[in-house]
Structure 1
Amino acid sequence: MSVSPRRPRVLLLTSSPLDGADGADVRLASDVLGALPDVEFTWFAQWPHRRGRPPPYGLGGRAVRILSWDGMPHLPERAQAALAGAVAARRCDLVHAFLTVGRTFPAFSWLRPVLLGARPVVHTVPGVMDPRLLARTRPLGTTVALSESMARRLRAADFGDVRVIPPMLPLERWPSRPRPAGLPMVLYAGHHDPGGGAETAIDAAAEAVRAGAEFRLVLAMRGRPGQDRHGLAAALRERASAAGLRAVEVRGYVDDMRDLITAAHVLLFPPTTIGGKADIPFTVLQALATGRPVILSDLPQFADFGNAVLRAPAGDARRTGQQLAWLLGQPRSWEVLAERGRAAVEERFGPERFAARYAALYRELLP
């Protein structure tokens, strides 16, 4: 009787639980967990568990619980993840880290041999909070960037072996939808970050209104630990009022973006810096898959979208607003961009391609 080979054991190392707050690192780790059923994964789960948010227990492997009241990557969660990861890594064949390069990452990278031992490590980099941090950082192992632009930046910082694997989107959950009827809704979704694009979106909307466009603007804002979210939201409302905008709604975190994106006519995302947000924002992929045209700033990583999106100079609210007014007044151009966006996601960001690339990388690195 033949004995089935043992499934490889892989630790998914994140700074917060997979069933906690929905950040880019958690999203990417969950996607890898679901994409590779032949791997026995270990991951972090929230304790106590939040009601209404089912953890991914049914996907195989085992969950290691860490204490977290809100599932956010606060300092206690990050410390627990590092210590629990150090223990779990000794029982795994490979460590797959999903960690943004933030303020505490350089110290973690230098402690990598102590914390993770001699196991091979894959490090998927969702984003870089500040490029200056790269000079103080050591690579954890084989590095995975989400875009060609980020890969070039990491290689220039001596990260050595850097691969590019774009994120995935479950296309069956994001079907293309026809253009909504009624007064157009323009959506911005992002963080309360300096240069994150919310202020530029408001100024661009005001420019579009002055050009004759009629729409309502919705800003879906996510906060980070330690931010005064209510105060920041109030400041955005004041800016919109001062710009002469009346039909403006500032929301907090939206747990399920599907209905909001489906109701939108255009996604407006004009940051001047990407900061710690995913190099390829998931909201942009969701909008394109749904058939919603997207207007982006011309940051290098957004060049990967080609002619599937409109781009304006970063920080140029006047040009961004002109593009918005033009797009809302051109139904045929709207349809063309909607079709291009859906095709781009199907071609470059589908789950099969994502799974195949990570499976190949695992086979290469596993002992």
Structure 2
Amino acid sequence: MRHGDRPRVLLLTSSPLDGSEGGDVRLASDVLGSLPDVDFVWFSQWPRRRQAPPARGRPVRLLSRDGVPHVPERVQSALLGAVFARRVDLVHAFLTIGRTFPAFSWLRPLLLGGRPVVHTVPGVMDNRFLARTRPLGTTIALSESMARRLRAADFGDVRVVPPMIGLDAWPYLPRPEGFPTVLFAGHHDPDGGAEIAIDAAAEAVRAGARFRLVLAMRGRPGQDPGALDEALRERAGASGLTDFELLGYVDDMHALLASVHVLLFPPAVLGGKADIPLTVLQALASGRPAILSDLPQFADFGHAVLRAPAGDARRTGQQLAWLLDQPRSWDVLAERGRSLVEEHFGPERFAARYAALYRELLS
């Protein structure tokens, strides 16, 4: 079905676009905002919205108390997707490959019918799920590393479209004055990097560096954030860190990044996080050097970041101490990071690639 001569596309997400922030929701919102010549159908949180809704497209109500993809939200998403897939020209799914995805993929003909499907994969929770999964259609990976994994799992037609970041919304900022602040922002996931960030910070302090470590932590459905936060505080105390702050969800990431000197993000595995985390792009766009673990997904950042072996707190801490003591190197990395984002993660390239893909599949 077409509205005039404009294609109609269903944005299939496991939670509402105006609900909680997540990699899938962010990517779907960016596609919606980048393609003005497409009529989108998207899921909206009801009865209350956690965020301001997109200004265009057709919202479809999805009952959700907090906008988080709990099991009821996922079930509603699948059922509503089955209804509206028959009323659009194309389905664009933004779904992480997790525990329930293999079953969904096998039900794809029943749920989504014969419409062409684009599946943007924010991430893969566990490689074991790939062996039990069928591709939904044309598959989009965020990085070359993820594309290779998906092709090796017989996903067929796999393209690479890196995520975007609004360059005007995230301007390059001067280095903050005063006492240095180092930021870790992530989830309470096993091997998600928070513990290594604490241990690396302690290593940097022992090497003579002086700074404040800030952890901005987000919980997931079914977790006890209070208990997990307390465990991190105890680890920081046992490591000898005295200048330490733990935050929950941060509403104003712009203000937080403006106040920090370095982003420290050393996960051993990404788990449910996006293959290229939005926080890393925001930091680089803002001129904040990043120290990352050497996961294959992060190879795309090249020399614009520092990388240390995953799980190696000693090496990560040494890099942090060195960077804080080298203002000229800090400036070089800040400029490289901004240039990388402008060249590879800008909105124009993102919009052009998805627009071309839509034309190809709808022709």
SS at match of 2:81: helix
The answer as to 2:328 corresponding to 1:332 is yes
Bigger Cα displacement from structure 2, 253-262 vs 99-108:
253-262
Q: Per-residue deviation at 1:49? A: 2.1
How do 1:209-248 residues align onto structure 2 when only pairs under 5 Å count? 209-248=205-244
Give the TM-score of the pair, scaled to structure 1.
0.97
SS at match of 1:43: strand
Equivalent in the alignment of 1:55: 53
Aligned residues: 361
Distance 1:121 1:256 in 2: 35
The amino acid across from 1:46 in the alignment is Q
Distance 1:90 1:328 in 2: 56
Task: Give the 4+ runs in structure 1 shifted more than 6 A.
Answer: none
The answer as to 2:10 corresponding to 1:14 is no
The answer as to 2:360 corresponding to 1:361 is no
The answer as to 2:38 corresponding to 1:42 is no
Q: Per-residue deviation at 1:327? A: 0.2
The answer as to 2:105 corresponding to 1:109 is yes
The amino acid across from 2:5 in the alignment is R
Q: How far does the alpha carbon of each residue in 1:86-137 deviate from its partner, in whole angstroms, 9 at most, with x for none? A: 0001000000000000111000000000000000000000000111000000
Equivalent in the alignment of 1:344: 340
The amino acid across from 1:9 in the alignment is R
SS at match of 2:41: strand
Equivalent in the alignment of 1:143: 139
Equivalent in the alignment of 1:311: 307
SS at match of 1:8: strand
Which of 252, 257, 275 aligns to 1:256? It is: 252
Q: How far does the alpha carbon of each residue in 1:19-73 deviate from its partner, in whole angstroms, 9 at most, with x for none? A: 000000000000000000000000000001236x2111x22x2000010010000
The amino acid across from 2:28 in the alignment is A
Distance 1:262 1:308 in 2: 19
Equivalent in the alignment of 2:30: 31
Give the TM-score of the pair, scaled to structure 2.
0.98
Give unmatched runs, 5+ long, in structure 1: none
Which of 176, 182, 193 aligns to 2:178? It is: 182
The amino acid across from 2:30 in the alignment is D
SS at match of 1:11: strand
Q: How far does the alpha carbon of each residue in 1:292-351 deviate from its partner, in whole angstroms, 9 at most, with x for none? A: 000000000100000000000000000000000000000000000000000000000000
Distance 1:123 1:338 in 2: 33
The answer as to 2:193 corresponding to 1:197 is yes
Report percent identity of matched pairs.
79
Q: CA RMSD in A?
A: 0.9
Distance 1:50 1:100 in 2: 23
The answer as to 2:94 corresponding to 1:98 is yes
Equivalent in the alignment of 1:83: 79
Bigger Cα displacement from structure 2, 319-328 vs 255-264:
255-264
Distance 1:262 1:101 in 2: 33
SS at match of 1:311: strand
Q: Per-residue deviation at 1:256? A: 2.5
Give unmatched runs, 5+ long, in structure 2: none
Distance 2:228 2:136 in 1: 36
Distance 1:67 1:331 in 2: 50
Distance 1:168 1:256 in 2: 19
Distance 2:349 2:49 in 1: 32
Which of 109, 126, 131 aligns to 1:130? It is: 126
